[in-house]
Chains A and B, each alone.
Chain A
Amino acid sequence: MPKTVRIHMHIKGVVQGVGFRPFVYNLAQSLGVKGWVNNTVRGVELEIEGEEPVLLKFSERMNEEAPPLALIEEITATRLAPVNYENFVIKDSEGGEEKFTLLSPDTATCPQCLEELKDPENRRYRYPFINCTNCGPRFTIIKDVPYDRSLTTMAGFLMCPDCQREYDDPRDRRFHAQPNACPACGPQVSLLDGQDRPSEVKDPVAEAVTLLKKGHILAVKGLGGYHLVCDAFNSSAVQVLRSRKNREAKPFAVMMPDMETVKKHCLVSREEETALSSQRRPIVLLGKKAGSPVAPEVAPGNRCLGVMLPYSPLHYLLFDQGLEVLVMTSGNKSGDAIEYVDREALTNLRDIADFFLSHNRDIHIRTDDSVVRIFRGKEMVLRRSRGYVPLPLKLPFQVDNILAVGGELKNTLCLTKGSRAFLSQHIGDLENLSNMQAFEQAVEHLQKVFNIRPRVVAYDLHPDYLSSKFAQEMGKCAQVAVQHHHAHVASCMAENGLMEEVIGVAFDGSGYGTDGNIWGGEFFVGSYGNFARWAHLEYVPLPGGPAAIRQPWRMAVSYLSTLLPGSMPERFLPELQNIDGQKLAMVKGLVTHAHKKLLTSSAGRLFDGVAALLGVRQEISYEGQAAIELEQLALTDVNVPGYSFTIKKDTLPWKIELGPMFDELIADRLNKYPVEMIAARFHKTVADLIFIGCMNIRKETGIKGVVLSGGVFQNILLLSQTVQLLEREGFTVYTHSKVPANDGGISLGQAVIAGAGVRKRRNF
Chain B
Amino acid sequence: MKRDKILLAHGSGGELSRELIEEIIYPIFDNNGGQELLDSAFLALEGGRIAMTTDSYVISPLFFPGGDIGKLAACGTINDLAVCGAIPKFLSVGLIIEEGFPVEDLKKILRSLSDTAANAGVLVVTGDTKVVERGSADKIFINTTGIGIVPEGVSLGPTEISVGDLIIISGTVGDHGMAVLCQREGLSLGGQIASDCAPLSDLAELLVSTGGVSCMRDPTRGGVASVLYELARQSKMTMEILNEAVPIHHAVAAGCSMLGLDPIYLANEGKLLIFARPEKESEIMNVLRNHPLGRAGRVIGRVTSRDDSGKVLVETELGAKRILPVLEGEHLPRIC
B110 at the interface (CB under 8 A from A): no
Q: Which of B185, B322, B334, B336 contacts A433 (CB 8 A)?
A: B322
> How close is A215's CB to chain B, nearest CB, in angstroms?
24
Q: Which of B185, B318, B333, B334 contacts A593 (CB 8 A)?
A: B185
Task: Please tell me if the beta carbons of A463 and B329 are within 8 angstroms of each other in the complex.
Answer: yes
> How close is B304's CB to chain A, nearest CB, in angstroms?
12
CA separation between A299 and B142, bound complex, in Å? 60
A711 at the interface (CB under 8 A from B): yes
Task: Please tell me if the beta carbons of A510 and B329 are within 8 angstroms of each other in the complex.
Answer: no
Most chain B beta carbons < 10 A, residue from A436, A463, A545, A589:
A545
Task: Please tell me if the beta carbons of A333 and B319 are within 8 angstroms of each other in the complex.
Answer: yes
Q: Which of B186, B322, B334 contacts A462 (CB 8 A)?
A: B334
Q: Which of A336, A545, A589, A742 contacts B333 (CB 8 A)?
A: A545
Interface residues of A in 459-478 (CB under 8 A from B): 462-466, 469
CA separation between A466 and B187, bound complex, in Å? 32
Task: Give the total of A residues in contact with B, Cβ under 8 Å.
Answer: 51
Task: Please tell me if the beta carbons of B326 and A246 are within 8 angstroms of each other in the complex.
Answer: no
Chain A residues near B333: list those with CB within 8 A: 510, 518, 542, 545-546, 548-549, 598
Chain A residues near B260: list those with CB within 8 A: 544-548
Task: Please tell me if the beta carbons of A582 and B190 are within 8 angstroms of each other in the complex.
Answer: yes
Q: Given known contacts A586-B258, A595-B184, is B335 in contact with A466 (CB within 8 Å)?
A: no
Interface residues of A in 503-537 (CB under 8 A from B): 508-510, 512, 518
A409 at the interface (CB under 8 A from B): yes
A170 at the interface (CB under 8 A from B): no
Task: Please tell me if the beta carbons of A436 and B323 are within 8 angstroms of each other in the complex.
Answer: yes
Q: Given known contacts A246-B318, A464-B327, is B336 in contact with A512 (CB within 8 Å)?
A: no
Task: Please tell me if the beta carbons of A462 and B330 are within 8 angstroms of each other in the complex.
Answer: no
Q: Given known contacts A518-B332, A546-B331, is B187 in contact with A431 (CB within 8 Å)?
A: no
> How close is B172's CB to chain A, nearest CB, in angstroms?
21
Task: Please tell me if the beta carbons of A546 and B335 are within 8 angstroms of each other in the complex.
Answer: yes
Chain B residues near A434: list those with CB within 8 A: 320-321
CA separation between A335 and B190, bound complex, in Å? 34
Which residue of chain A has the shortest Cβ distance to B60 in the bound complex? Answer: A595
> How close is A84's CB to chain B, nearest CB, in angstroms?
61
Task: Please tell me if the beta carbons of A549 and B335 are within 8 angstroms of each other in the complex.
Answer: yes
> How close is A541's CB to chain B, nearest CB, in angstroms?
12
Chain B residues near A509: list those with CB within 8 A: 335-336
Cβ proximity bits B165-200 to A, threshold 8 Å, 1 near / 0 not: 000000000000000000011110110000000000
CA separation between A596 and B186, bound complex, in Å? 12
Chain A residues near B318: list those with CB within 8 A: 246, 333-335
Task: Please tell me if the beta carbons of B332 and A589 are within 8 angstroms of each other in the complex.
Answer: no
CA separation between A518 and B330, bound complex, in Å? 13
Q: Given known contacts A333-B318, A335-B320, A432-B322, is B330 in contact with A598 (CB within 8 Å)?
A: yes
Cβ proximity bits A404-425 to B, threshold 8 Å, 1 near / 0 not: 0000111000000000000000
CA separation between A590 and B257, bound complex, in Å? 13
CA separation between A334 and B316, bound complex, in Å? 11
Q: Which of A335, A595, A598, A711 contacts B336 (CB 8 A)?
A: A711
A14 at the interface (CB under 8 A from B): no
CA separation between A518 and B334, bound complex, in Å? 10
Which residue of chain B has the shortest Cβ distance to A246 in the bound complex? Answer: B318
B206 at the interface (CB under 8 A from A): no
Interface residues of B in 278-324 (CB under 8 A from A): 313, 318-323
CA separation between A464 and B330, bound complex, in Å? 10
Task: Please tell me if the beta carbons of B259 and A623 are within 8 angstroms of each other in the complex.
Answer: no
CA separation between A623 and B335, bound complex, in Å? 8
Q: Which of B189, B259, B320, B323 contacts A430 (CB 8 A)?
A: B323
Which residue of chain B has the shortest Cβ distance to A509 in the bound complex? Answer: B336
A743 at the interface (CB under 8 A from B): yes
A158 at the interface (CB under 8 A from B): no
B328 at the interface (CB under 8 A from A): yes
Q: Given known contacts A431-B323, A545-B333, A595-B184, is B259 in contact with A590 (CB within 8 Å)?
A: yes
A587 at the interface (CB under 8 A from B): yes
Cβ proximity bits B264-289 to A, threshold 8 Å, 1 near / 0 not: 00000000000000000000000000
Task: Please tell me if the beta carbons of B258 and A595 are within 8 angstroms of each other in the complex.
Answer: no
CA separation between A549 and B323, bound complex, in Å? 20
Chain A residues near B326: list those with CB within 8 A: 464, 469
CA separation between A333 and B317, bound complex, in Å? 12
Q: Which of B184, B319, B321, B331 contacts A545 (CB 8 A)?
A: B331
Chain B residues near A547: list those with CB within 8 A: 257-260
Interface residues of A in 185-205 (CB under 8 A from B): none
Chain A residues near B327: list those with CB within 8 A: 464
Which residue of chain B has the shortest Cβ distance to A545 in the bound complex? Answer: B260
CA separation between A315 and B334, bound complex, in Å? 37
Chain A residues near B257: list those with CB within 8 A: 547
Interface residues of A in 321-355 (CB under 8 A from B): 333-336, 351
CA separation between A742 and B258, bound complex, in Å? 28
> How close is B331's CB to chain A, nearest CB, in angstroms?
5
Chain A residues near B261: list those with CB within 8 A: 545
A594 at the interface (CB under 8 A from B): yes
Task: Please tell me if the beta carbons of B334 and A465 are within 8 angstroms of each other in the complex.
Answer: yes
B325 at the interface (CB under 8 A from A): yes
Chain B residues near A672: list those with CB within 8 A: none
Task: Please tell me if the beta carbons of B323 and A409 are within 8 angstroms of each other in the complex.
Answer: no
A604 at the interface (CB under 8 A from B): yes
> How close is A432's CB to chain B, nearest CB, in angstroms?
6
CA separation between A333 and B318, bound complex, in Å? 8
Most chain A beta carbons < 10 A, residue from B187, B258, B319:
B258
Task: Please tell me if the beta carbons of A589 and B187 are within 8 angstroms of each other in the complex.
Answer: yes
Task: Please tell me if the beta carbons of B319 and A463 are within 8 angstroms of each other in the complex.
Answer: no
CA separation between A632 and B335, bound complex, in Å? 23
Task: Please tell me if the beta carbons of B258 and A583 are within 8 angstroms of each other in the complex.
Answer: yes
Cβ proximity bits B244-270 to A, threshold 8 Å, 1 near / 0 not: 000000000000011111000000000
CA separation between A711 and B325, bound complex, in Å? 24
Chain B residues near A431: list those with CB within 8 A: 322-323, 325, 334
Chain A residues near B184: list those with CB within 8 A: 595
Task: Please tell me if the beta carbons of A743 and B322 are within 8 angstroms of each other in the complex.
Answer: no
Task: Please tell me if the beta carbons of A464 and B187 are within 8 angstroms of each other in the complex.
Answer: no
CA separation between A689 and B190, bound complex, in Å? 42
Which residue of chain A has the shortest Cβ distance to B259 in the bound complex? Answer: A544
Chain A residues near B258: list those with CB within 8 A: 544, 547, 583, 586-587, 590
> How close is A511's CB to chain B, nearest CB, in angstroms?
8
Task: Please tell me if the beta carbons of B323 and A623 are within 8 angstroms of each other in the complex.
Answer: no
Most chain B beta carbons < 10 A, residue from A246, A583, A586:
A586
CA separation between A549 and B335, bound complex, in Å? 8
CA separation between A409 and B320, bound complex, in Å? 16
Chain B residues near A596: list those with CB within 8 A: 330
Task: Please tell me if the beta carbons of A334 and B336 are within 8 angstroms of each other in the complex.
Answer: no
Chain B residues near A594: list those with CB within 8 A: 185
Task: Please tell me if the beta carbons of B332 and A464 are within 8 angstroms of each other in the complex.
Answer: yes
Task: Please tell me if the beta carbons of A462 and B323 are within 8 angstroms of each other in the complex.
Answer: no
CA separation between A333 and B328, bound complex, in Å? 29
CA separation between A586 and B258, bound complex, in Å? 8
30 contacts between A and B (CB under 8 A): A333-B319, A335-B318, A430-B323, A431-B322, A431-B325, A462-B334, A463-B328, A463-B329, A463-B332, A464-B326, A464-B332, A469-B326, A508-B336, A509-B335, A509-B336, A510-B333, A510-B335, A518-B332, A518-B333, A545-B260, A545-B331, A545-B332, A583-B258, A586-B189, A587-B258, A589-B185, A589-B186, A589-B187, A594-B185, A595-B185
**Interface residues, chain B, CB within 8 Å of chain A?**
184-187, 189-190, 257-261, 313, 318-323, 325-336
Beyond A431-B323, A463-B332, A466-B323, 14 extra complex contacts between A and B, CB < 8 Å: A333-B318, A408-B335, A432-B322, A433-B313, A436-B323, A464-B326, A510-B333, A518-B332, A544-B260, A545-B331, A546-B260, A595-B184, A623-B336, A624-B336
Q: 7 tightest A-B contacts by CB?
A: A547-B260, A544-B260, A509-B336, A463-B328, A545-B260, A433-B321, A546-B333
**Interface residues, chain A, CB within 8 Å of chain B?**
246, 333-336, 351, 408-410, 430-434, 436, 462-466, 469, 508-510, 512, 518, 542, 544-550, 582-583, 586-587, 589-590, 593-596, 598, 604, 623-624, 711, 742-743
